[in-house]
């Protein structure tokens, strides 16, 4: 626990260091305006996780992280910016895990085919770790936080060496697409065998094709300085992704299909309260190993007491669900969040109450294929509810959640998650 707290405070120190900028007083109004634009651009880059330099932007995601398998993970990464070229880009990173004593890296780049539709062809070679059971959408915007709450406690990773080529294309202002062809060598870092056709696989090769679509029908886009920017963040938003694995293509071992879906709806009330609803679903069929199935975003470590499990609450995770407790090949989660209007105690002290309810359901076919690891399934409805009180002190808050319903545990304390939150905006 002390390690996790140390990591959080270290990253918060970095947050404050990057976020603060000296105020420059200038008599020349033109220079003041230029400085203001530069400052706004700088803050925008920092908010996206970049520290801008002349021809490239340093990627802050790779500076310091911590998880249960690598321990501290630190390194450098970055991407070239428009000053380098508006038609080509190069991105890479190199990190080192002090607990597993191994380097991870990625080298990639891309070139723009069409500026009006923001069409890019991207290439990459990556040797890194990925959380088993995680599923990411290709079209997701870059999401950055100065530390990732769930990452602190994750211990189930698989190593992958992936070569990929992708096509990023804006079909319209409201519809984005991304396609990717990839080959991967998968090596779980834990004891696991995938039993198929009288053969056990503890490592395997995959060849996959992905198509991801993101539709924002109610957002508004305007032309600013030659670039189309989203000026109204409209809801609902829809994201759909199809993944197909091909057996015997470039040495691939398995044939499988995955379909992932997410929709987000948000209601902004007149009293400045906000209600957010998120639905996520996924289905995998065919010869799908555990590495490419689904967990339900757990964020609770297996410790005896509530205080021993005290850590950082995630943004969309199940705080009472233990890591590696459930896996599914079909699943769905539903989350409700209601943000009350912040309580204005003083000009600087404005805590905010958030009510939260989360639900999950899932199934698993051919569970006997997955050998060497014990887990449960989610045929019955998993339920938890709770609240957060955010921004109590320096961005810190508190979170409380309770597990009830079909998966309620015999010991009352095992159903309770008490954690702190951290929220900061630039």
Tokens 């992958």 belong to 160
The arithmetic mean of pLDDT across residues 121-135, rounded, is 96
- What are the pLDDT digits (tens) for 287-333? 999 999 999 999 999 888 888 888 888 888 999 999 999 999 999 99
Peptide bond into 375 cis (omega under 30): no
Q: Sorting pLDDT into bands at 50, 70 and 90, what band is 144?
A: low
- What pTM was computed for the model? 0.85
**Mutual angle of helices 29-47 and 2-19, in 10-degree steps:** 160
The arithmetic mean of pLDDT across residues 274-285, rounded, is 97
Distance (Å, whole) CA 330 – CA 340: 34
Tokens 């007149």 belong to 270
pLDDT at 334 (0 to 100): 98
Distances (CA, A) of 424 to 42, 47, 395: 17, 10, 6
Give 326's strand partners. 376
Asked if pLDDT for residue 8 goes beyond 60, the answer is no
pLDDT at 49 (0 to 100): 77
The arithmetic mean of pLDDT across residues 135-164, rounded, is 83
Phi-psi region of 262 (alpha: psi -120 to 50; beta: other; left: phi over 0): beta
How distant is the alpha carbon of residue 375 from its chain centre? 23
Residue 230, token pair as written in the block: 């989203």
Q: Sorting pLDDT into bands at 50, 70 and 90, what band is 423?
A: confident
E strand or H helix that includes residue 153 = none
How distant is the alpha carbon of residue 124 from its chain centre? 19
> Strands 396-405 and 382-393: what pairing?
antiparallel
DSSP letter at 202 equals: S
- What are the pLDDT digits (tens) for 248-276? 999 999 999 999 999 999 999 999 999 99
Distance (Å, whole) CA 384 – CA 409: 12
Asked if pLDDT for residue 19 goes beyond 50, the answer is no
Ordered by where they begin, the domains of the chain are 65-142+156-422 (2.40.160.50)
Q: 70-79, 87-96, 391-400: which range is least confident on average?
A: 391-400
Tokens 């340093």 belong to 58
pLDDT at 225 (0 to 100): 46
Question: How does the average pLDDT of the chain come out, rounded?
Answer: 87
């Amino acid at each position: 626990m002390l390690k996790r707290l140390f990591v959080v405070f270290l990253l918060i120190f970095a947050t404050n260091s990057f976020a603060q900028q000296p105020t420059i007083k200038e008599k020349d109004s033109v220079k003041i305006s230029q400085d203001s634009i530069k400052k706004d651009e700088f803050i925008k880059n920092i908010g996206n996780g970049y520290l801008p330099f002349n021809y490239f932007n340093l990627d802050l995601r790779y500076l310091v992280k911590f998880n249960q398998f690598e321990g501290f993970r630190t390194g450098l990464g970055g991407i070239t910016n428009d000053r380098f070229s508006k038609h080509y880009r190069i991105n890479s990173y190199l990190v080192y895990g002090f607990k597993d004593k191994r380097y991870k890296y990625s080298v990639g780049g891309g070139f723009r085919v069409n500026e009006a539709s923001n069409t890019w062809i991207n290439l990459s070679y990556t040797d890194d770790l990925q959380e088993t059971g995680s599923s990411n959408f290709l079209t997701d915007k870059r999401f950055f936080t100065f530390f990732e709450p769930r990452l602190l406690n994750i211990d189930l990773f698989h190593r992958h060496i992936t070569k990929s080529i992708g096509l990023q294309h804006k079909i319209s202002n409201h519809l984005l697409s991304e396609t990717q062809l990839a080959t991967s060598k998968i090596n779980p870092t834990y004891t696991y065998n995938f039993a198929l056709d009288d053969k056990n696989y503890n490592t395997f090769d995959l060849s996959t094709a992905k198509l991801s679509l993101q539709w924002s029908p109610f957002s508004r886009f305007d032309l600013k300085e030659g670039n189309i920017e989203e000026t109204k963040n409209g809801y609902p938003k829809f994201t759909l992704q199809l993944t197909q694995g091909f057996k015997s293509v470039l040495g691939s071992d398995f044939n499988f299909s995955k379909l992932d879906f997410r929709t987000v709806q948000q209601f902004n009330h007149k009293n400045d309260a906000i209600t957010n609803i998120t639905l996520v679903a996924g289905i995998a069929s065919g010869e799908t190993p555990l590495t490419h199935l689904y967990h339900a975003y757990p964020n609770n470590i297996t410790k005896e007491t509530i205080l021993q499990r005290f850590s950082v609450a995630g943004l969309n995770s199940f705080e009472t669900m233990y890591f590696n407790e459930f896996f599914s090949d079909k699943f769905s989660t539903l989350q409700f969040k209601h943000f009350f209007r912040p309580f204005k105690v003083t000009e600087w002290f404005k805590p905010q109450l958030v009510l939260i309810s989360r639900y999950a359901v899932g199934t698993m076919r051919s569970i006997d294929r997955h050998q060497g690891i014990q887990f449960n399934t989610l045929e019955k409805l998993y339920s938890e509810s709770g609240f957060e009180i955010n921004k109590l002190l320096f961005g810190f808050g508190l979170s409380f959640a309770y597990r009830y319903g079909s998966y309620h545990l015999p010991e009352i304390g095992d159903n309770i998650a008490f954690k702190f939150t951290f929220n900061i905006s630039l």
